Structure formats: C-alpha cells, structure tokens
Amino acid sequence: MLGNVHLFHLGLPVLDARRSRTFYEHYFAFDPESTQRHDDGTVIIRNGDGFDLALHPGAQVGPLPEFLHFGFRFDDPAEVRTLLARLRADDVPIIEEHEESTYVAFKCLDPDGHRIEGYWEPARLAERDEDA
C-alpha cells in the first residue's frame, strides 16, 4: 500500500519554450529563477508549491482531446476573477467560465492550445474531491 502520493510534474509539448515559459511565469506564478534548461531543449520551471512544468519543444502540438486540461486551484474566488480579468485584457482565449456559490472557474488556452483551468471551491469540497 502506498502512502500519500503527490503529482508534482507535468510535461507539455510546446512550439516555443521561451514563449510558453513567459506565459506560465506571467499568469500562473512560475518562478523564472527556477528555470532549468536541458540539452534536448526542454525547459523546466517550478512554482511556489514545488510543481515542475517541463516544456519540451516540438514541431507540432495537438490536436488535443477537448476534455484534456490541467488546473490551478486558488485560495480565494477573487483571485480567480482577478486573473480572469488579466487574461481577458491581454486577449488570452477564454473558452469556459463558471460563477457559482461553490465554484468559480475559467478555462483558457496557453500559446500552444493547452487548456488550463483556474478555479476556486470551498475547502471542504476540495478536500472531499481529494479523498475520492
């Protein structure tokens, strides 16, 4: 039986690692000081939670299944709304929005068309989902 297992790494194919790195640093608080570059062109950046995002350059990305996405959970619904407003102001494609008493969320597209969710839900709901 395994103890707690945590997901702390995601590898994404990208067309331009520098462009993607800038996007994730600017909107999702990945630390530019954490940047690691590898001989194959892969760039790895880390956020404040210790999550590593590996951006691997390739000749093409996609097409991706419509449901495929990854998300960032926020501590406060106002943070979700603030980031959504910034993304909108910068013409980042927003493909979905939710505003409910127990769920505030959006999905946007990164420069390569990867779907990203930003969301908030009350802690008790988030904890229940983690236990499922």
List, for residues 48-70, the tens digit of each pLDDT value.
Answer: 999 999 999 998 888 889 999 99
Supply the CATH number for residue 2's domain. 3.30.720.120
3-state SS assignment for residue 64:
coil
Residues 76 and 129 in one domain: yes
**pLDDT score, position 48:** 95
> How far is CA 56 from each of CA 62, 65, 67, rounded to the nearest angstrom?
13, 19, 21
Residues 52 and 73 in one domain: no
Residues 86 and 43 in one domain: no
More confident residue, 37 or 5: 37
Residues 52 and 88 in one domain: no
Residues 29 and 77 in one domain: no
How many CA atoms, within 13 angstroms, populate the side-chain half-sphere of residue 74? Answer: 21
User: pLDDT tens for residues 19-44?
Assistant: 999 999 999 999 999 999 999 999 99
Q: Terminus-to-terminus CA distance in the chain, angstroms?
A: 17
Domain residues for the domain of 93 are: 69-132
The model's pTM is 0.88
Q: What are phi and psi of 103, to 5 degrees?
A: -165, 120
**pLDDT score, position 19:** 96
Beta carbons of 98 and 52 less than 8 angstroms apart: no
Q: What are phi and psi of 101, to 5 degrees?
A: -65, -25
* Tokens, residue 24: 């994730």
Residue 132: band (very low, low, confident or very high) from pLDDT cuts 50, 70, 90: low
* Section 65-85 average pLDDT: 96
- Percentage of the chain beyond pLDDT 90 is 81
Residues 132 and 74 in one domain: yes
Last residue in a domain, options 13, 36, 60: 60
* Tokens, residue 78: 């106002």
**pLDDT score, position 127:** 60
Residues 27 and 73 in one domain: no
d(CA 83, CA 71): 13
Beta carbons of 67 and 82 less than 8 angstroms apart: no
User: pLDDT tens for residues 85-131?
Assistant: 999 999 999 999 999 999 999 999 999 999 999 999 998 655 656 55
